[in-house]
Structure formats: structure tokens, C-alpha cells
Amino acid sequence: MEKFPELNTPRLLLRELGAADADALFAIHSDAEAMQWFGTDTMTERRQAEQLIASFASWRLAANPGTRWGIQRQDSGQLIGSCGLFKWNRNWRSCSLGCELARSAWGQGFMQEALHAIIAWGFAKMQLNRIEAQINPENHASWRMAEKLGFRQEGTLLEAGYWNDKFHDLRQYALLKRIYYPHQ
């Protein structure tokens, strides 16, 4: 992947994250309530956001590459979160999905809109057959959204995550191309 793949939806621009996004990303990742299910400890310093942006950029060069988009509102230009496809296994035509959203943007359908765009891009451009997501069982909003997108729960991974000084069970979800595009 040479040029970063910008995606447009009716309300969003999905674009590459850059150094100018560090303050907005830090605001999201330092909000303990917004990040309680993300899978990492809450940020305490702005430089952690800068490091995260660099980490997301490095995904595109990794052996099992990935792409992380900043989610920007079309109307205000405000960065409200990020989402991405990562751990791309080309041989198996699969990858994982991850996302986070600023609390001020919850309940407005922004993440579902963004994920529709990157899922379609992943099936078309990455030639994926399977997209996986691991979601904390207590994160009702995320697993309900995943199910609306067509993801199916496959089981629970016991104590598979560790953040905020505690182990967390994770529900394993998967979306297959033939389910997302049933008439192809």
C-alpha cells in the first residue's frame, strides 16, 4: 500500500492520522470512560498520543500490515476517533478490526458509518474473506454494533486481554465476506 487510502462517507472523512492529531487523540485516549474497553491503559501524557500515531503509521510497513484511519467529521473537521484493520494475514485472507470514539460522538451512528466504509474497503482492496473483532462482553454498545454490521459471535476468549491492572474476557466475533455481501 503506497498512498494512504482516504475514504469518504456522507458525514465522515476517514484519513491518515498525523502529528496535528495528537491533541485530539490524547483527549480521547485520556478519557477513562471512553477507553474502558479499548484494551490499553488510559493515556496520561500527550507524548503517548504521538507514539500511538507513529505506531499506527508503522502498521502499513509491518510483516502483517494494517491501516488505521482517523475519523473526522465532514461538517466540523473535528477528529472524533479512529478505526482500522490490522494483523492482515494475506494467506488466510483475514484481519482484525479495532476502533475507538470520543464520548461526545457516542450514539450518533458515526462508528457504524466508518466501519461500513473500512469493511467494504477491506473486502475489496485487501481481498479479505474474514474480519475478526474481540469485544469485552460488558461493552454492550460495541457488540450490538458488530452484530448490526453482520458479525457473528464465535465464543469467549477467557482472560485474553490485560489492561488497567486486570484480566478481561473477550468475545470473539467474525464477519465473512459472503455474509456481508450475500448476493455475490
Q: pLDDT tens digit string along 21-80? A: 999 999 999 998 877 777 777 889 999 999 999 988 888 887 778 899 999 999 999 999
Residue 158 class from Cβ within 10 Å (0-12 exposed, 13-18 middle, 19+ buried)? exposed
Cα angle 112, 177, 61; round to 5 = 75
pLDDT in tens, 160-176: 888 888 899 999 999 99
